[in-house]
């Protein structure tokens, strides 16, 4: 399977102005985590806090944002968020189908529900009808921690098979209702379980766009590692039309990790990539602070450049030449390269400034 094959088979689904599926670039999502407020009217969604966080997410490169609507009292405040948000807002709903119906009519660009905890089939159908009337899609979100009781109790299936079977059953019901604008997710905290579930869904539902992620992945370090391992495997095989990296952290942190994973498997590049060696006793410059400063400055750019910062002559010249721009260091100096061409030798204390002076000329 090529990198693009699976994504090109999926049906395009429109979430506001953003296309998910149909071979479109993999869409990066996140979710706000602003606590509810109680200003005397009872606990409800904080519109200003969510709006401020959405602005920060947009600046970081987020393309679609999900907002939890925890209760019916939050619906007017959710509408305030959708009215001013610069990003399409997906309403995240659990348990109460009336909240989903209300969100559909209050500016949600899409709904995210787990049909298994919404209630009866009639309630699920009411949500489908509301989404159809509003002209918005639904993400069917299945999680290992909230499978239907009967399915969870089966011991003849693996957890991955249970996730895929649950999602497929819901998709079939939506199709029976003539509702096609769906995206599916089937997440677990276990990397291999998640990967197996999505591989099965990609085979069995090749037309349905998939939202991929490792749920409850942990803090920045563990969550990044688990997400990179699981999502990298899927993306490298063309599986995944939209993604969220779930971190127990400021959601803005999720965006850089997501784009880093996409770039690492050469699926989508929007930010610079630094190629730098781990250093060894052959290195004759203080490379670590040089590489740190290059990375810091590159973080402010929106060019999909490859920049090599190499410490010695073993792999340095080759890596530097292979990058869009690079430096191969020698004793107290470095040789700059651009697109494989040697430019000039610069002293160690001028490497970073000269590198970025050259970047500005590209």
For Cα atoms 138, 142, 147, give the angle at the middle one, nearest 5 degrees. 135
pLDDT band at 203 (very low <50, low <70, confident <90, very high): very high
Supply the pLDDT for residue 39: 86
Return all residues near 36 (Cβ < 8 A) that are at least 6 apart. 43, 44, 45, 46, 70, 74
Q: Residue 326 belongs to a domain with what CATH number?
A: 3.30.413.10
pLDDT band at 1 (very low <50, low <70, confident <90, very high): very low
Q: Residue 94 belongs to a domain with what CATH number?
A: 3.20.20.20
Calculate the dihedral angle through the C-alpha atoms of 173, 176, 179, 183, rounding to the nearest 10 degrees.
40
Q: Last residue of a domain, which of 239, 264, 289?
A: 264
Q: Last residue of a domain, which of 201, 229, 264?
A: 264
Write down the mean pLDDT value for the chain: 92
Q: Give the E-state strand segments of 11-61 in sequence order.
A: 13-15, 18-20, 27-31, 37-38, 43-44
Judgement on whether residues 170 and 279 belong to the same structural domain of the protein: no
Supply the pLDDT for residue 151: 86
Q: Which residues pair with 112 in a beta bridge?
A: 92, 139
Span 304-352, pLDDT tens digits: 889 999 887 676 667 666 788 989 888 889 989 888 788 999 999 999 9
Asked whether 243 and 211 are in contact (CB, 8 A), the reply is yes
Cα–Cα distances (Å) from 113 to 99, 110, 128, 280, 301, in that order, read: 11, 10, 10, 51, 36
Q: Last residue of a domain, which of 235, 264, 293?
A: 264
State the pairing for strand pair 43-44/37-38: antiparallel
Q: Could you give the percent of the chain with pLDDT greater than 70?
A: 96
Span 218-266, pLDDT tens digits: 999 999 999 999 999 999 999 999 999 999 999 999 999 999 999 999 9
In terms of residue numbers, what domain contains 308?
273-361
Number of domains in the chain: 2
Supply the pLDDT for residue 143: 87
Judgement on whether residues 47 and 103 belong to the same structural domain of the protein: yes
Stated pTM of the model: 0.90
Span 45-59, pLDDT tens digits: 999 999 999 999 999
Judgement on whether residues 153 and 13 belong to the same structural domain of the protein: yes
């Amino acid at each position: 399977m090529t990198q693009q094959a699976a994504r090109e088979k999926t049906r395009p689904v429109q979430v506001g102005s953003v296309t998910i599926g149909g071979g479109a670039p993999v869409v990066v999502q996140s979710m706000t985590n602003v606590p509810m407020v109680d200003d005397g009217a009872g606990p409800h969604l904080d519109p200003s806090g969510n709006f401020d966080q959405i602005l920060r997410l947009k600046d970081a490169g987020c393309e679609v944002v999900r907002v939890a609507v925890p209760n019916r009292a939050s619906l007017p405040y959710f509408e305030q968020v959708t009215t001013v948000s610069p990003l399409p807002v997906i309403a995240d709903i659990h348990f109460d189908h009336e909240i989903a119906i209300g969100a559909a009519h209050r500016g949600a660009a899409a709904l995210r529900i787990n049909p298994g905890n919404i209630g009866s089939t009639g309630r699920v159908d009411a949500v489908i009808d509301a989404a159809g009337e509003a002209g918005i899609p639904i993400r069917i979100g299945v999680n290992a921690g909230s499978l239907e009781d009967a399915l969870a109790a089966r011991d003849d299936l693996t957890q991955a098979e249970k996730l895929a079977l649950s999602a497929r059953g819901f998709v079939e019901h939506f199709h029976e209702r003539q509702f096609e604008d769906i995206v599916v997710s089937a997440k677990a905290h276990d990397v291999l379980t998640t990967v197996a579930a999505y591989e099965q869904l990609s085979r069995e539902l090749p037309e349905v766009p998939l939202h991929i992620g490792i749920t409850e992945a942990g803090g920045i370090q563990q969550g990044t590692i688990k997400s990179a391992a699981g999502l990298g495997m899927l993306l490298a095989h063309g599986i995944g039309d939209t993604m969220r990296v779930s971190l127990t952290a400021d959601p803005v942190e999720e965006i850089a990790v997501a784009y880093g994973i996409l770039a690492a498997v050469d699926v989508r590049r929007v930010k610079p990539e630094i190629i730098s060696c781990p250093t060894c006793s052959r290195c004759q410059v203080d490379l670590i602070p040089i590489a740190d400063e290059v990375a810091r400055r590159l973080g402010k750019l929106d060019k999909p450049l490859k920049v090599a910062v190499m410490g010695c002559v073993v792999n340095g010249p080759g890596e530097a030449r292979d990058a869009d721009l690079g430096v191969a260091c020698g004793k107290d100096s470095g040789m700059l390269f651009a697109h494989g061409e040697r430019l000039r030798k610069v002293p160690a204390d001028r490497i970073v400034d000269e590198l970025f002076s050259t970047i500005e000329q590209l």
